[in-house]
Structure formats: C-alpha cells, structure tokens
Amino acid sequence: MIRINLLPQEYRRKARTPIRLLLGLSAVVAVNAGLASWWGWTVIGVQAEVESQRAALQMEFDALSPQVRHNESLDSEKQRYESRERTLAGITASRISWTRKLDELVDVVNQGGDGQRHLVWLDDLQVSQTADPNSKSYGTARANGHSGSDKFAQVANFLEDLERSSFVDDFLKPSPPEGSQTLVDETLVPPVAWSFPLALTLRSPDERAQAAADRAARAKEQPADGASAPEKKPADGASAPETKPADGASAPEKKEGRP
C-alpha cells in the first residue's frame, strides 16, 4: 500500500546516512590517516638520521682536510727529493774518483818487483771525460810510459798486471803492447829503456756502475785483513797425532836445568 506523507516539509523525517556506509568511510579515512602518519614519520625520521650522519661526516671531513693537505704537500716534497736523488745518482754514476784511480795505478807500477817483472815509470797522465750521451767516447786516459829493461816482454807484463787490477774496472781493456827502444846508454841505470803509449777508454756510466757493484761484492767476499783461519780441534776422546822423528833421527832429549 502506498503511504503518502501529508505533513509539512519542516515536520517530515529526514533521511539518514546508512550505518555501514558511514563505518566504511570512517575506516578508509582512518587507514589513510595512519598511512599518511607512518609515511610522514618515516620520512622525517630518515631525513633526520641522514642529516645527522651528514653532519658527522662533514665534521670528520673538516677535521681530516688539514691532514690531507699536509699529506699532499709531503707527496709533492717527496717527488722533488726523488727527482734530486735521481739527478745525484746520475751524477755519481758518471763521476770517477780519480784520487782512487791514481792510487790503483801507482800500486800497479810498484808491483814490478824492482825490475823482476817490470820497471815502469810514466812521464805524464792526461785525462778527459764527458757526460754527453751523444758522444762516441765517454773519456780517455793517456800517458807516455817507459820500461827500464832490454826485454820488451816486461811492457806486456805491466799491461797484463794493469788489466788484472781494479784500475781498469772503469775502462775498456788496453790495446796490445807496442813501443820503441828510445835509450841505450851504459852510463845510465837502466842502460836500456823502451817507450810505449798507454791509452785507455772510459766505459759508459751504466757499465761503470755495474763494475762498482761487482767491486763491492768482491770486497765483501774477501776476508778481513789479519783474520786467521779457525783452528781445527780434535773430536771428544780423540788424541792429537804424535809426531814421529824421521828415520835415523833421534827425538830431542829433555834436559832438566835450573831456571
């Protein structure tokens, strides 16, 4: 049956929102509000943590910056000193101690045994050296030598002793002996003399450095002056061998006497 409401408009009952719809909308609003609150808290919390870490790292960076700048200055200073060291090493490798060379040459001259092997003296010694890598020769050492013997073989003996000495470590091997007889006078000592040229060519700096390393290695291998070989002691329980006199020889008698 159809019901008609004849009451005036202000006395009529108003339509209400359904409870289920209201509850659903309330639940959706609550969930969205919760999600928004959680997202906001997460964003704010993470941002605050990131800002805190950033501030800590910035403080650490500011504290380490002076050390980094000091380390960079030390690296540049190290590079400068390494460059100087390489320059000094190059100069040292190309340099020759001529004082030591003269001592070595004098030693060879004096090893002749007063003319038994050779009797040599030098008039002069001319030395030239260059560090130009484009040069064909790194230097030379020239001298005019004399041998006071009628045997030319003593010139060869001198060059052989020179070649075996440490003097030629920085030089190439000398050329074969050559010379001429320049003095024959019975009133002089020696009465006969031979004149011969002495010409030596310097090795390259690398070869001289290798020769110096070999010379240092040989010096380490040689025993110290005055060092005696260790005495051999008999094993425990073993007696020293007795010395027997030769056939027909009598052992020395021990005589007792007053001190």
pLDDT in tens, 143-164: 999 888 888 888 999 999 998 8
Hey, what amino acid is at 241? P
Q: What angle do CA 87, 92, 94 make, to 5 degrees?
A: 100
Note the pLDDT of residue 158: 92
Hey, what amino acid is at 252? P
| Same domain, residue pair 117 and 85 | no
Range of the domain at 76: 24-94
Q: For residue 168, give the CATH number of its domain.
A: 3.30.70
How far apart CA 166 and CA 107 sit, in angstroms, is 10
Q: 196 pairs with which residues across the strands?
A: 145
The ranges of the chain with pLDDT < 50 are: 225-230, 232-259
| Same domain, residue pair 84 and 108 | no
| Same domain, residue pair 215 and 104 | yes
Domain boundary among 59, 94, 129: 94
Note the pLDDT of residue 13: 67
Note the pLDDT of residue 247: 45
Is the model's pTM score more than 0.75? no
Residue 194 lies in a domain: yes
Residue 250 lies in a domain: no
Residue 203 lies in a domain: yes
Note the pLDDT of residue 137: 79
| Same domain, residue pair 102 and 207 | yes
Residue 216 lies in a domain: yes
Residue 209 lies in a domain: yes
| Same domain, residue pair 115 and 211 | yes
Note the pLDDT of residue 103: 92
User: What's the total number of domains in the chain?
Assistant: 2
How far apart CA 64 and CA 58 sit, in angstroms, is 10
Residue 157 lies in a domain: yes
198, containing H or E segment? strand 192-201
Note the pLDDT of residue 19: 76
